[in-house]
């Protein structure tokens, strides 16, 4: 009986070791390609960042002068057709103006107040006039001017179509060169973006407003597609 028990135990211990081992399936052969599509479109909106910087003997005087100048800028921009929803103030700062760093005792010589204003211009033909209006009553800093599309989706969709067609053409070429038949799409992934235009300025003696040309935006879509190889 004891010998039989030992035999059964040895069989139980050996059973897992003798279990069948299944080989993993090899990955299915695929063709991987990346396609890109670019569609250019004229911008229909501009965003500019202007600033108002003022000085005063006291902090209160500098801040009051800044507020008055900014109020005048806002009023002038509203008169130029900019809606309140398209104007946003930010980055208000108030700092002492230190002088005498070359001496042993630097001192505060007045205060400097600064405020930034972001403005969206939806009528690009009025952009030059808006720039002129913004500096007429106190704006003394221009920190940036960018162009964009109010609704970029239709243009981006066309770029996506071009990217997929570009990827398909590459996959067909690779399949033909390799002597195989292109199968179905296994997966698609996408990255998208745009190429911002550089604002172009030109001289115009007939107008004090700086004319600006928006150029074109290049909306770019990139897709990566995995195709199976048909049997």
1-57 tens-digit pLDDT: 554 444 444 444 444 554 555 556 667 889 999 999 999 988 989 998 999 999 999
Read off the pTM. Answer: 0.64
Q: How far apart are CA 182 and CA 53, in angstroms?
A: 64
Q: How many CB atoms lie within 10 A of CB 13?
A: 9
> Strand 45-56's sheet: what is its strand order?
87-99, 107-121, 45-56, 141-148
Determine the pLDDT at residue 26.
65
pLDDT mean over 77-96: 90
Q: Which helix (H) or strand (E) holds 17?
A: helix 2-17
- Take residue 142 and report the two structure tokens written for it: 């221009």
Residue 211 has pLDDT above 60, yes or no: no
Q: Which residues contact 28 (CB under 8 A, 6 or more apart)?
A: 228, 229
Q: For 101-134, how does the pLDDT look when each residue is reduced to its tens digit (9 = 90+)?
A: 776 778 888 999 999 999 999 988 888 888 888 8
Can you tell me whether residue 213 is helix, strand or coil?
Answer: strand
């Amino acid at each position: 009986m004891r010998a039989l028990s030992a035999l059964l135990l040895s069989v139980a211990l050996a059973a897992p070791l003798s279990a069948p081992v299944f080989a993993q399936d090899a990955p299915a052969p695929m063709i991987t390609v990346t396609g890109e599509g670019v569609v250019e479109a004229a911008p229909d909106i501009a965003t500019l960042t202007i600033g108002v910087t003022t000085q005063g003997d006291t902090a209160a005087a500098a801040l009051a002068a800044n507020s008055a100048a900014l109020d005048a800028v806002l009023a002038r921009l509203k008169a130029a057709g900019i809606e309140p929803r398209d104007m946003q103030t930010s980055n208000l700062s108030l700092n002492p103006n230190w002088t005498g760093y070359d001496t042993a005792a630097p001192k505060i010589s007045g205060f400097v107040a600064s405020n930034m204003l972001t403005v969206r211009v939806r009528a690009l033909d009025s952009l030059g006039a808006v720039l002129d209006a913004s500096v007429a009553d106190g704006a003394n800093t221009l920190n940036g001017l960018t162009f964009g599309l109010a609704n970029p989706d239709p243009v981006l969709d066309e770029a996506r179509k071009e990217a997929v067609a570009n990827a398909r053409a590459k996959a067909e070429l690779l399949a033909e060169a390799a002597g195989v038949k292109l199968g179905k799409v296994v997966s698609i992934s996408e990255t998208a973006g745009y190429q911002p235009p550089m604002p172009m300025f030109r001289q115009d003696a007939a107008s004090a407003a700086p004319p600006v040309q928006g150029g074109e935006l290049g909306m770019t879509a990139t897709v990566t597609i995995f195709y199976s190889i048909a049997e």
